[in-house]
Structures are given as C-alpha cells and as structure tokens.
Amino acid sequence: MEEIGHWINGKRVAGTSGRFSDVYNPATGEVQARVALASPAEIDVAVADAAKAQLDWQKVNPQRRARVMMKFGALIERDMDKLAEVLSREHGKTLPDARGDVQRGLEVIEVCMGAPAFLKGEFTGDAGPGIDLYSMRQPLGVVAGITPFNFPAMIPLWKMGPALSSGNAMILKPSERTPSTALMLAEIAQEAGLPDGVLQVINGDKEAVDTILDHETVQAVGFVGSTPIAQYIYGRAANNGKRAQCFGGAKNHMLIMPDADMDKAADALIGAGFGAAGERCMAISVAVPVGDAAADALIERLVPKIEKLKVGPYTGGDDVDYGPVITAAAKERILGLINSGVEQGANLVCDGRDFSLQGYEDGYFVGPSLFDNVTPEMDIYKEEIFGPVLSMVRAKTYEEALDLVIDNPYGNGTSIFTADGDTARDYAAKVNVGMVGINFPIPVPLSYYTFGGWKKSGFGDLNQYGPDAFRFYTKTKTVTARWFSGIKDGASLNFKALD
C-alpha cells in the first residue's frame, strides 16, 4: 500500500514518527493509502530549514519572485488534468468540479504575478525641514497554512501564493484526508523555480497543528475549516503572539423574492445546494422564499430537478452531478441530521437517506434531500450539515427574511434573487454577511478582491487573497530620514511635530 510522506527541502521524504492515518477512497470505502503524521521533532526540522531558506528568498526582488509565480501558474495549467485526477481520487468530487477547484486556486496565483504592486510602500518628500518619510512592506518570515479536505488545491494555493510572493517561507499542513494534491503542487512549485525549503508540506493531525501554533519561529497562521477549530486555532495562535486569519463554518441563505425568475432561482439552488455533495463553505443550504406563492413555485421546480440528479463516483463520467461525502462518519452525521429534521416536524419532500449505488454499496454516498417548512429552532437549520441537504424556510415578508439572516450566527455568504434593484441594494447594504450575491448563488469574489466571512464564519481582521492577503503576510516599517543640508537645530527635549 502506498505510504504518503512529506515535502521537505525540495523532495518527498518518508515520515519518521511511526504514526499514520488511513486515506480512503470515498466512492468505495476502501483504504487506498496511508499518510504519515508528523512528530514535533519533524516539524522542528522543517521549520528550521524553512527559516534558513527564507533569509535568501526575501532578498530576491519582488519582480523575480513574481516570475516564479508566473511559471508556477503556467505549470499548474499544464498539469490541470493530473491534479484533478489526484484530487478526485482522494476527495470524491467529480472531475469537472475538481478542475474548478484547481482553477480557482490558479486565479489567485495569477494575481500574485502582480505582487510587486501590492508590496510597494509609500513616500513623502519634505515631510518636514530636510525630512523624508517613507514606509516599506517586509515579509514576516516563516508562516503556516492549515487547509481543509474539501478544496485540496484551491485553498492551499490561496495560502501559498500571497505568502511566498511576499518573500515568506511557508509550512503547509493539508488535510490528512486529502494529502496528495498539496504534495503535487509543491513539486510543481519547485519546477517553477521556488528554492528548496521555502515551501515545506507537512502532513499531520492535531499534534502537528498544535506544534505549529506553539512554534516560536512561525509568525502567522492561516486556517480554513469548521468554526470550533477556527476559534481554537485563532485563540491559541493569538495567545502565542502570532497573526491569525481563521475561517470557519457557514449557514448560507438565499432569499427568493416573489418577483424573481423562479426557473433561474431553482437552477441556482440545485447547483449551489448540491454541488460537491454540499461540502462547500459557500454552499447554499437554506432557501428563504418570501411568500407561499414563491415557495410553492420553487418546490414545483426543484423536485423534478432533484430527482434527475445523478450521484456517482468521479470515474462515472462528466454527467455525474456529485460524488460521495468524505468519510463514513460524515455520512452518518448527515443522515442523523436528516432524521432529526423529520422528527422535529419539517416536511421531507425529497428523501436521500436510502440512496445506494450498485457496485459502490460501501461508498459514502448520500442522495439529495429537500426539506420544506423548516423553522429556526430545528437542528437542520442550526447545524452546518455539509452535505447534499437543502432546507426551505418560508418567510412572510422581506423584512422577516432579512432578519433571519441577520440573526444567524454565521456570516459567510448569502444571496438574493429578485428583479427589483431597490430590494437588492437594500439587502446588500443591511445584511451582516461577508459576501453577498445578487441573482448570483455562490458569491465567491474574483481573486483580485478578497474572500472572508463575518460573525462565526471568520476570525481575524484580514481576509484571504487579494490585497488583504499581502497585508496579512507582510509587516510595515516606517522610516523618518533627515538630511541636515545646513539646518541648524539645537538639541531639544520636547516631543514636537516635524514642521
């Protein structure tokens, strides 16, 4: 059986801790590999070597670092299909969805080709008599990225692109459930010209995470995962004096106004609710039609579309709509939440609990489920299901629907479908959510903006990718310089203005 190790100093190395975790094929339930779980000693070595490599990497001028990103992006595009295959084999998502995973990460790398523009400082000449004032952005040193199973390419690229192009070295710890894509990306980065040691990929579990969080050389940590773990990592990192940007769970709502195009709204809900088996932090898991007429019209359109969804393995062809969930435990949790919805009085319109695929009976497949008449007190509303389950909460008015979103503890993404510009504008202004879509179901911003949620969906002041990422991975140094040029000031003990 294949044993997956780490990427240290420009090569794959075997783990030495003696601890391993199984890597499953979600479509069959079979163990397809074992991944090494790093010990604190292994991480200490990786961090020390990264710190040495970073000293030379930060001296490479920003334009030349950007050239590495340019070649890195070209090689990712070259190997798109290979990356998608590796990703799908471990995650289970369809090949088209896997290619999209890689593509959205690649777009951040493309923005990082313009890193010199983000790294410029400021300059003021003659800020005072003979005084120039200027600032510069400098790398932090060694930083870390801790990334989730559901986007094995995209989120590691979101982390490594800005961090590396800013002159840092990175310790990347991908999910132990989907470890191979990150290792392949490290190999591609080396081919693109990234010096050995600047990117270290360490596989591991909580022991590895805690070691990274406590390591005095690691200056910053970026994380994406569930809210409880995001809170834990943010708190422990901050307690250790590190910068942290930690993104957690979500409960994303889509409002459907009575004047919306119901066919387009239904299509949007199918894609946003069931794509990738619902294992997306930006998935729409709650539909909020305003008025019973809108709700009934949506149900009428959604049911036949849901019944036609094709669930299967990634090898089943491009007509497979979504694949299995990641683990047997995830499947059981999703089924348990569906059962709770039935027990608590929601109307299960489409029931995916008994789905079984011939030849893949041991796979982690869950059929698509649709609930109607869900209320905020129910577990299926309160919990992030992270599965192919769409809940419909009927609202009588726009104000009631808006309050539902405002009162929700999560604030990652939201959407409104309407033909009325005033309503859309009002919603975008008032809703306390980080990313808003108007007639757009999954409002993930393009890579030259920035990604981040509010409330319990995000912890930290700066978001992922875009300008915020370069602010996060650098620190500002401000210099006040005086050239006397005949100025005859005597000694002064007073604190005074430059002029």
Residues annotated as catalytic are 281
**Nearest-CA neighbor of 390 among 268, 291, 293?**
268
**Nearest-CA neighbor of 306 among 262, 342, 265, 266?**
266
- 109: how many CB neighbours lie within 10 A of its CB? 28
- Joined together, the tokens standing for residue 140 give 């932090």
Q: How far is CA 194 from CA 83, 174, 203, 207, in A?
A: 19, 19, 20, 28
Burial degree of 25 (CB within 10 A; 0-12, 13-18, 19+) = buried
**Nearest-CA neighbor of 217 among 348, 346, 43, 333?**
43
Three-class SS of residue 8?
strand
Whether residue 387 contacts residue 277, with contact meaning beta carbons closer than 8 Å, is answered with yes
Single-letter amino acid code for the residue at 116: P
**Nearest-CA neighbor of 213 among 241, 187, 192?**
241
Whether residue 347 contacts residue 341, with contact meaning beta carbons closer than 8 Å, is answered with no
DSSP class of residue 58? T
Q: How many CA atoms lie within 13 A of 357 on its CB side?
A: 20
Residue position matching structure tokens 């070259």: 78
Residue position matching structure tokens 């011939």: 358
- 324: how many CB neighbours lie within 10 A of its CB? 29
Residue position matching structure tokens 């523009």: 117
Instruction: Strands of 98-141 (E only): list them.
Output: 123-128, 131-139
For 40, list phi and psi in degrees, rounded to 5.
-55, -35
Whether residue 23 contacts residue 174, with contact meaning beta carbons closer than 8 Å, is answered with no
Three-class SS of residue 19?
coil
How much is the CA Rg of the chain, to the nearest whole Å?
25
Whether residue 252 contacts residue 441, with contact meaning beta carbons closer than 8 Å, is answered with no
Single-letter amino acid code for the residue at 478: T
